[in-house]
Chain A
Amino acid sequence: DAKTTQPNSMESNEEEPVHLPCNHSTISGTDYIHWYRQLPSQGPEYVIHGLTSNVNNRMASLAIAEDRKSSTLILHRATLRDAAVYYCILISARDDKIIFGKGTRLHILP
Chain B
Amino acid sequence: ETGVTQTPRHLVMGMTNKKSLKCEQHLGHNAMYWYKQSAKKPLELMFVYNFKEQTENNSVPSRFSPECPNSSHLFLHLHTLQPEDSALYLCASSQDFPGQGALPNRSPLHFGNGTRLTVT
Q: Which residues of A contact B (CB under 8 A)?
A: 2, 30, 32, 34, 36, 41-46, 49, 51, 91-103
Contacts and interface: CB of A to CB of B under 8 A. Distances in A.
Question: Residue among B105, B109, B114 with the most chain A CB within 10 A?
Answer: B109
In this complex, the interface size class of chain B, counting residues with CB under 8 Å from chain A, is 20 to 34
A56 B63 CA distance: 43
Interface stretch (B12-20, B41-49, B74-82): B41-49
30 contacts: A2-B42, A34-B106, A36-B109, A43-B2, A43-B90, A43-B92, A43-B111, A43-B112, A44-B92, A45-B2, A46-B109, A49-B106, A49-B108, A51-B105, A93-B100, A93-B103, A93-B104, A93-B105, A93-B106, A94-B100, A94-B101, A95-B98, A96-B55, A96-B56, A97-B48, A97-B56, A98-B109, A99-B45, A100-B35, A100-B42
Contacts of B55: 96
Contacts of A95: 98-99
